[in-house]
Amino acid sequence: MKRPVPTYELYGEDSGERPDFWLHCETIPSRSRLHHWEIGLHRHESFFQILYIAEGSGDALFGETVRSISPPAVITIPPAVSHGFRFSPAIDGFVFTVLASHLPVAPGGRSRLGNWLATPALTPLGETEDGRYIAETLQRLAEEWEARRNNRTGLLDAYLTTVLGLTARLAAAPRANESAAESENERRMERFDALLRQHYLAHRPAAFYGRELGLSPTHLNRVIRTMAGQSVHEVIAGRLLDAARRELVFTRASVQEISFRLGFSDAAYFSRFFLRHVGMTPRTWRIAERQRLGV
């Protein structure tokens, strides 16, 4: 009979020992050395992990699948996926643990990046320009996290988004059966996402995004529903809710302050918006989530 796979926040820690931020970073040897270079099968319920292998070798275990590790490489592991490692003592690099809710897109979303994030992957970086840039950016991400300087959140976000986007591109094999319509819809989704990042705090209506993309509201809604499984209004609301959740958990700002930061003219309307989509008021959700994450 198989033993159940344990669930950890960080490997080997009790549930009360949790990261003090939405991102945690440590060197691979710092933890694997304590376990004689072998990390048994385990999983993380709410966290996405990125391992950067700079030196050394070993095996990555994704459930019952074994992949050989040779540097330089990036390993990505979505939440709730059983994984483990066998490292050589020469192993070096970093492991980044990220709250899944803080990823640029949700794993399993209908974009190419969302699909890629939903599956564990080992991506060799090789000697390509993108590979070198990914390695350099991960090094900068580790340094920025360790330094804990002021105003680091924006830089950490940018480094993380860059690494995931470039690694997904490097890992993607050309899809011979991809139609022109699928390719065009993916480009439209990427442009919509870029516009949404720029304008979501202004609470622009769906018609605004349609005009910017040269599409009617009905056509835009059809494209977004095909790619994301949601309507344009639902995607816009989701972006606001993600930002609200981050503010509620990781800042000490009042609910009123957060509502104004997110473009709501009335804190009461923000509370009703949050309650309608989440099922709890912002204050109630903040208390429960902080207790769950230990922050």
Domain ranges of the chain: 23-171, 180-295
Query: pLDDT per residue over 210-242, tens digit each?
Result: 999 999 999 999 988 888 788 999 999 988 998
Residue 8 reports pLDDT greater than 50 = no
pLDDT above 50 for 13 = no
Say yes or no: do domains 23-171 and 180-295 share a fold.
no
Which of 54-68, 79-93, 175-189, 203-217 is the least confident region?
175-189
Q: Identify the weakest region by mean pLDDT among 8-22, 149-163, 254-268.
A: 8-22
Instruction: Look over the chain and give the mean of its residue pLDDT values, rounded to a whole number.
Output: 86
Three-class SS state of 59: strand
- What is the CATH code for 180-295? 1.10.10.60
Average pLDDT, integer, range 164-175: 80
pLDDT at 18 over 70: no
Percent of the chain surpassing pLDDT 70: 87
Q: Quick check: 77 and 127 in contact, CB under 8 A?
A: no
What is the Cα 212 distance to its own chain's centre? Answer: 27
Considering only the top CATH level, what class is 23-171?
mainly beta
Asked if residues 78 and 107 have their Cβ atoms less than 8 Å apart, the reply is yes
d(CA 164, CA 239): 19
pLDDT digits (tens, 9 = 90+) for 92-125: 999 999 988 788 877 766 567 788 888 999 999 9
pLDDT, position 122:
95
Q: What is the pLDDT, as a whole number, of residue 109?
A: 61
Q: Who has greater pLDDT, 105 or 144?
A: 144
Q: Where is pLDDT greater, at 5 or 266? A: 266
Residue 243's identity, in one-letter code, is A
Q: How far apart are CA 33 and CA 49, in angstroms?
A: 19
Q: Under a CB-based contact definition with an 8 Å cutoff, are residues 11 and 42 in contact?
A: yes
